[in-house]
Amino acid sequence: MPQVADLASLQDYDDILARLTADLDEARADLEDDEALRAAQEAAAEADEGCATLEREQRRLEGEIDGLVARVEREEKRLYDGSVKLPKELEGIQLEVKSLRSHLSDVEDTELALLDRLEEAEAAREEAHAGLEREQGAAREKAERLGGTIARLEGEIAATNDGRDTCRERLTAPLIAQYEDLRRRKGGVAVTHLRAGACTGCRVSVPPSARKRALDPEAPALCPNCERILVGY
């Protein structure tokens, strides 16, 4: 294949590689982005902890209630079993029972209020775990989809690289050096084409003499304006 056509092919391969590599980078970044899943995990853990805290508090209140009930029973037994005879002492026990019952009532109210909060916390926990399951499902689906995309892109990049290598092997070292130098200096575009009398790289009209040079398949001509390799066919 003539050198100039190979240079044009090389540019095509590099364009394709740039696009595939950008797509691959995007797919990999998308795969690594697990923000939604992490947020759902954190929300579920927080909801679990909220319930656990309330459950611990409920157990503590239950223990306190049991202790108070036992003390009330003990004191009332002393009140009625005839073991205490002194009126002043009996009066003291009655006051103690009254005080214990009042305290017991307060603790029971506290527990009722806590049970309401626990019910809300359990509903929130259920919602958070449902949300987590949804995110886990979405993450699995995403991993599967992006895994397929990444494998396909890697395959296409490998095939394009093979084609590019074969193309480069046909070109002389000075031409490759010229091509690479232009690519570095001209935003990745070393080879342009003549379309309707203008250069596709800079869109400037090309004079007839340069158009004629651009038709030579063996000697690369340059666009007089942007100085890229201009292919006229």
With respect to Zn ion, which residue has the nearer C-beta, 21 or 205? 205
Residue 160: CB minimum distance to Zn ion, A: 26
- Write each residue from 168 to 207 as x if it is in contact with Zn ion (CB under 5 A), else as -, in one continuous string: -------------------------------x-xx-----
In terms of phi and psi (left: phi > 0; alpha: psi -120 to 50; beta: otherwise), the region of 82 is left
Out of 100, 167, 225, 231, name the contact with Zn ion by CB under 5 A.
225
Q: How far is the CB of 5 from Zn ion (least distance, A)?
A: 19
How many CB atoms lie under 10 A from the CB of residue 179?
A: 22
Diameter over CA atoms, the chain: 132
For Zn ion, which stretch binds (CB under 5 A), given 10-18, 48-56, 152-160, 225-233? 225-233
Buried b (16+ CB within 10 A) or exposed e, 47-76: beebbeebeeebeebeebbeebeeebeebb
Q: How far is the CB of 20 from Zn ion (least distance, A)?
A: 26
Q: Six-digit token pair at 220?
A: 């690369």
Q: Where are the beta strands (DSSP E) in 104-220?
A: 191-195, 198-199
Q: Which is nearer to Zn ion, 145 or 195 (CB)?
A: 195
Spatial CB neighbours of 132, under 8 Å, sequence gap ≥ 6: 40, 41, 43, 44
Closer to Zn ion by Cβ: residue 72 or 182: 182
Q: Give residues 96-115 in contact with Zn ion (rule: CB under 5 A).
A: none
Please state, in angstroms and rounded to a whole number, the distance separating the CA atoms of residues 18 and 157. 9
- Nearest distance from C-beta of residue 187 to Zn ion, angstroms: 12
Taking the complex as a whole, the smallest distance from the CB of residue 202 to Zn ion amounts, in Å, to 3
- State the residues that interact with Zn ion by CB under 5 A: 199, 201-202, 223, 225-226
